[in-house]
Amino acid sequence: MLSTRLDPTPRPATRWDPSTAPPRDRTLHDLFDAQAALRPRATAAIHHDHHLTYGELRSRSDALAARLRDVGVRPGERVGVCGTRSLDALVAFLGILRTGAAYVPLDDTVPLTRVRAMAEYADVQVVVTLPGSACRVRRLRTRVDLAAVPPARGPLVPPAVDGADCAYVMFTSGSTGRPKPVAIPHRGVVRLALSDLVDQRPRPGDRVLHAYDLSSDASTIEIWSGLLGGACLVLIDREELVSPAALEAAVRGARVTIAYLTTGVFHHVARTRPEALRTLRFVSAGGETMDPALARAVLTACPDTTVVNFYGPTENTVVSTAHVLRDLPPDGQPIPIGRPLERSACYVLRPDGGLAGVGEEGELAVGGDGLALGYLGDPALTAERFVHHPAEPGVRLYRTGDRAVLRPDGELEYRGRTDRQVKLRGHRIELDGVEARLRAHESVGEAVVDVDGDRLVAYLTPAHANSVVPVDRVLQYLAGWLPAPAVPSRLVPVPEFPVNGAGKVDRTRLRALTSPEREDPRPSAPAASGARDLRSTLAEIWQVVLRVTPSVADNFFDLGGDSLLAAEVVTRTLAVLGLDARHGSELVRGLLLAPTLAGFTNTVRVALRSDGRGAGSPLVDFVREGRLGFAVPEPDGPEPRWAEPREVLLTGASGFVGAFLLARLLRATEARVHCPVRARDRAQARRRVLANLTRYGLDVADVEHRIVCFPADLAEPGLGLDHEHRAELAAGVDLVLHSAAQVNFLYPYSALRPSNVDGTREVVRLAAARRVPVHFLSTVAVLAGFGTAGVRHVDEDLPLAHADRLSMGYAESKWVAELVLREAADRGVPVAVHRPYEVTGARGTGACNTETAICSLFRTIAETGLAPDIPLPMDFVPVDYLAEAVVHIATRHRTTRRTYHLTNPNPASLGDVIDRMCRAGHEIRRLSYPDWVGELVRHVAANPTSATAPFVSLCVDRGNRADISVKEMYFEGVFPSLGRDNVDRDLAGSGLSCPPVDAALLDRYLDYFYATGYIDRPTPPRR
């Protein structure tokens, strides 16, 4: 709680001077436009030999804004930017702001797991991809390739937004390590960019260094201070930032006058080459505690440079206070963090919330125009950290968690973090204090102290280049100053600290660099040089894909890998090592079985020594796998009201089909729909389901109160639910729609069994006691074995067979799941199996899941201009029709044990799709199937992130007991024709009919691909 009594006469350090306040209601793009109007030909930014004028930046951002509006971006939305620091990133930021939306930097340098979490937590549905970058975010509504945006049609009139609206979302991890999305308003950035408290504001003629990653706070002050001041941004590469000599050359060569550095970089330069900053008129450091001795070195070497210590959290738009370094304090005394910027306020608070006196330590709270709007999607944390001012209604403050003191001269002094106080062996220890004491030793440059179990570990750099830290002397020194529990058990000298993209010490990399190499725990002989070379090559591939440098014992999936990234790693491995594409499935299986770098290296080594045909999957007794595995109890409890359900269990609501099933259930029934979702907690589960509905344009705002979301996992016993929750569902649900599955065409049966087979057993177990009807979403792929066995027609109720011919783990897992359900039906559980053919976009909007094999085929044809001349049926089942049909059958007909073939009575062929693409303007050449497969393999080798990379194995792997590829098993004349008597009978009189796959439907899908950026629209169209 904050104090209810504040000093009515604000102290000098706690208030801004209103006489120099920046405009608080203007937006960033509005203020930029004012600069562009004044100096359209002036250079706004340069990067090596490329430059961008203010007029060009205005025009290109207008063009992007127009494109974003065309794809449905509206004010208040959050739009991701995938890429790295570049001139194009400036265009993307401004273009997004012009739509009234907020930008979310999704930097290429950030590990994939974090990038995807960032996109999810910020509810990013649309992404702008910068040239040279790939969009690694999935489950998006729209992707916009900046390179493909047409020129502006004219000046764009931005929508009405003001200073209080969100401008961007930046992320901070805090103590949990989970990305926390901080929403920053325009006025916060305007306050930062136009502040001139310490002469830091750029003017026309200034050149401002832009050296930090887009997802770092430092880039915010670089970009917007420069552009709103009419200055020129000078972009440099990361290698130049971390090398003092290269930094000096870049600064002098580009005539940089202003540099906003992080403290880590500032210290590194100060220690090795302080004169590198001599030509600057202004330099600042921020983000960590400034070392007085190093600051003195810069002041001595750069007498004409203004040197400033900045302080501020992300939640207060980067900088809250500033202190100009003039007379440095005596040795051992910290450098102040200074006074608040204009339109800012700072308060030092006692533990009871009262206002601390001069010289009294307390928690620092900050406020004013820089204050963030809060943490997106986390009202509880927002309420905890952003508190109301007790004496000024409507005014908010942010509790920083930093300890500070207000000095007699009105300056604030930083004393460390409240959350860096640890308790070891009964003693409270201030880690910041230990680090400060280490830095005070004459031989120590920088210090980082971490907790490792029940001991402290300190990482040290030498005070001078090429010198050695005397560890024993430093330990003796610490023992004379610190209590025994605060003396680190281990001192680890390193030449220099690794720095992350934000310019701060990368503690994770530091630990990895200095810990003993984590070798594979299995005993082995020392690796030969060739083995090390192979492992190094594969480590580089993992690093490119995962954005993380792996150790030999790191688990691919623990580092953020998933099925699609596994496909990319395998594709890159095949290309780099020149392996035949038929090894792809073998390498994927090996990665699943031994997912460490060491294990994958062994798998690849075996493949290199083999005859080029690859290894097959182990034999599986699929009939035995399909046993139910538990006794169905006697009926017990109230009979389910399936015709007028009050409670429905829907699995897969975060997927494509599940989204439309959920929307249909909400419209066609009055039921509450219970949605198990893989998520951390209920809030995240709900956020994922609602975001999924939004992705496909499904508006359920008026009925979303009937959606009940909770975390669960199909692969876990009992669906990962506690006993009480599981019992509550079993006792209350009237109907089960089981559409969840792990859909993967690369993984073997063994990898998919936990989710697709065991998960189905758990669903049946939950429904069995009350005989709740279970409607299972399967696939026609379970019937592929009939075709290669010579069966030409399959009716709906024909018993399953030929699992040994399916040749694909996903189809095998669904086949076995159907067998489980058949036994459950034999024992009295009402079961219906729905087998749709190719589930495609909605009839009206064309909205579809573009992460499918068929969509990737269309995209690859468009990208390469090559198509296979094959008899591949386009048996499309629009997803909204499918959802309506399933819900109708489930609520209008008593469930027995029927199977439904949800196919299209009027399908088309791949040739029809190619004809429509050509008519739209694509130039496409048809090839024989073998020739096309060869071109496909070459295309994917050259483009490992291609949408079709996960599906190449379908074209190169041979079918079991058939001398054709898996893809050819689905060709007309091989795949059997399917009966649909049950569908026709149970939908009769419903008014539901599957639309024909005609030119109108195909064009609607193409329009959706073009509008969402999935496929580039050909220009100009062929007439």
CATH number of the domain encompassing residue 436: 3.30.300.30
Whether 670 and 566 map to the same domain: the answer is no
CA dist 1000 and 957 (Å) reads 35
Same domain for 672 and 587: no
What local confidence, expressed as pLDDT, does residue 435 receive?
Answer: 85
Beta bridge partners of 428: 423
* 182 belongs to a structural domain: yes
- 587: its two tokens: 């390498």
- Other Cβ atoms within 10 Å of 420 Cβ, number: 19
Q: Which domain holds residue 915?
A: 626-1010
Give me the helices (H) in 551-639, please.
563-577, 584-593, 597-609, 622-625
Together in a domain, 110 and 141: yes
739: its two tokens: 């559409």
Q: Are strands 421-424 and 386-388 parallel, antiparallel or unpaired?
A: unpaired
Q: Verify that 924 and 974 share a domain, yes or no.
A: yes
Structure tokens at 508: 């994770």
User: Does residue 220 fall inside a structural domain?
Assistant: no
In 3D space, the residue among 803, 855, 794, 801 whose CA is nearest the CA of residue 959 turns out to be 803
Shared-domain flag, residues 598 and 700? no
In-domain check, residue 380: no
**What does the alpha-carbon distance between residue 893 and residue 640 come to, in Å, rounded to a whole number?**
14
Confirm whether 965 is domain-assigned.
Answer: yes
d(CA 251, CA 276): 8
Q: What element of type H or E holds 1004?
A: helix 999-1012
Strand (E) or helix (H) holding 209: strand 207-210
- Residue 268 domain-assigned? no
Instruction: Classify residue 648: in a domain, yes or no.
Output: yes
d(CA 98, CA 61): 8
pTM attached to this predicted model: 0.83
Residues 543 and 651 in one domain: no
Greatest Cα pair distance, the chain, in angstroms, is: 92
Residue 548 shares a structural domain with residue 645? no
pLDDT of res. 410: 92
The C-alpha R_g of the chain, in whole angstroms, comes to: 31
Query: Based on the domain organization, do 748 and 858 belong to the same domain?
Result: yes
* Cα→Cα distances 627→612, 631, 720, 750, 814, Å: 37, 11, 22, 16, 13
Q: In terms of domains, do 688 and 727 share one?
A: yes
Q: What residue has token string 């972009």?
A: 235
User: Are 609 and 595 in contact, with CB atoms under 8 Å apart?
Assistant: no
HEC string of 2-66 equals CCCCCCCCCCHHHECCHHHCCCCCCCHHHHHHHHHHHCCCCEEEEECCEEEEHHHHHHHHHHHHH
Place of tokens 């009350």: 770
Q: Which of 138, 159, 190 is the last residue of a domain?
A: 190
CB 1014 within 8 A of CB 143: yes
We report the CATH number of the domain holding residue 598 as 1.10.1200.10
The whole-number pLDDT of residue 527 equals 44
Spatial neighbors of 592 by CB under 8 A, at least 6 apart, are 566, 747, 748, 750, 751
Q: Are residues 581 and 658 in the same domain?
A: no
| Conformation bin of residue 503: beta by default, left when phi > 0, alpha when psi is -120 to 50 | left
- The residues with which 555 forms a beta bridge, in sequence order, are 596
Residues 32 and 144 in one domain: yes
Q: In whole angstroms, give the CA distance from residue 1007 to residue 1019.
A: 14
Strands 672-677 and 873-874: unpaired
379-396 b/e with 16+ CB inside 10 Å = b? eeebeebbbebeeeeeeb
Determine the pLDDT at residue 506.
77
* Backbone conformation region of residue 100, classed left if phi is above 0, alpha if psi is from -120 to 50, else beta: left
**Boundary of a domain, candidates 190, 205, 225:** 190
Report whether 289 contacts 436 (CB < 8 A). yes
Rounded distance between C-alpha atoms, residue 763 and residue 726, angstroms: 10
Number of other residues whose CB lies within 10 A of the CB of residue 233: 25
Q: Which of 510, 544, 579 is the last residue of a domain?
A: 510
Q: What is the pLDDT of residue 22?
A: 58
Q: Give me the CATH number covering residue 978.
A: 3.40.50.720
Look at the chain and report how many structural domains it folds into.
Answer: 4
The per-residue pLDDT for 408 is: 93
Count CB neighbours of 995 within 10 A. 16
Which residues of the chain fall short of a pLDDT of 50?
1-20, 175-176, 516-529, 1021-1023
In the numeric block, which tokens belong to residue 784? 């592929």
From 769, 793, 785, 853, select the one nearest 818 (Cα to Cα).
Answer: 785
The set of residues, in sequence order, having a beta carbon less than 8 Å from that of 296 and lying 6+ positions away, is 328
Q: Do 789 and 662 fall within a single domain?
A: yes
In the numeric block, the tokens 């005609």 are attached to 998
Question: Does residue 619 fall inside a structural domain?
Answer: no
